[in-house]
């Protein structure tokens, strides 16, 4: 008998859950389980990993039997600039300060827009950064350095 996948969405989703449960169970393996009357730190996470694996397997199996949705393709060209922009902001915010980190964030993420244009992005971005600098560190007194620290 050949396996036919009737719902790629469910099969993939179920397998992701099983994988997640496996990672969690592996992490919780060293923890003390305790007893039901006096639960140790490992009790709750281990039971949850088991249940998640069970549900994941169930969802994956259902995907083999019941017809369902296909997985819509991941649009990496839209996705990656945004994720990269956030990561760069995280790495830059402390050493480089709010202004430089914001410039990098706005430029990198703007590339993901289907109708990207330099002019509007630069003008609007400059205004936005000015607004952010005035609002966050100055008006609200949030602990953000504006310029790079040396």
Helix, strand, coil fractions of the chain, as percent rounded to 5: 65, 5, 30
| Residue 65 or 71 having the CB closest to another protein | 71
148 binds another protein (CB under 8 A): no
Which one of residues 6, 19, 65, 128 is an interface residue with another protein (CB under 8 A)?
Answer: 128
H or E element at residue 34:
strand 34-35
| Residue 1 or 146 having the CB closest to another protein | 146
Q: Compute the distance between CA of residue 93 and CA of residue 9 in angstroms, rounded to an integer.
A: 38
141 binds another protein (CB under 8 A): yes
Length of the chain: 150
SS3 assignment for 124-136: HHHHHHHHHHHHH
13 binds another protein (CB under 8 A): yes
* 31-50 binders of another protein (CB under 8 A): 31-32, 35-42, 44-45, 48-49
CB of 65 to another protein, least distance (A): 13
51 binds another protein (CB under 8 A): yes
| Residue 1 or 137 having the CB closest to another protein | 137
| Residue 6 or 27 having the CB closest to another protein | 27
* 57-116 binders of another protein (CB under 8 A): 58-59, 62, 68-69, 71-72, 74-75, 78-79, 82-83, 85-87, 89-91, 93-94, 98, 102, 105-106, 109-110, 112-116
- From residue 78, alpha-carbon distances to 6, 82, 83, 85, 90 in Å are 29, 7, 9, 12, 20
Helix 118-133 and helix 76-110, axial crossing angle in degrees, nearest 10: 60
């Amino acid at each position: 008998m050949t396996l036919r996948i009737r719902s790629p969405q469910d099969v993939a989703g179920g397998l992701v859950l099983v994988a997640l449960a496996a990672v969690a169970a592996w992490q919780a393996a060293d923890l003390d389980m305790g007893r039901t009357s006096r639960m140790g730190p490992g009790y709750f996470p281990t039971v949850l990993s088991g249940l998640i694996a069970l549900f994941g397997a169930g969802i994956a199996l259902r995907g083999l039997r019941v017809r369902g949705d296909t997985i819509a393709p991941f649009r990496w060209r839209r996705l990656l600039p945004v994720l990269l922009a956030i990561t760069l902001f995280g790495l830059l915010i402390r050493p480089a300060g709010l202004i430089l980190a914001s410039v990098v964030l706005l430029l990198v993420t703007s590339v993901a827009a289907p109708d990207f244009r330099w002019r509007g992005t630069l003008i609007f971005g400059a205004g936005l950064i000015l607004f952010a600098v005035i609002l966050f560190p100055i008006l609200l007194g949030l602990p953000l350095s504006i310029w790079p620290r040396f």
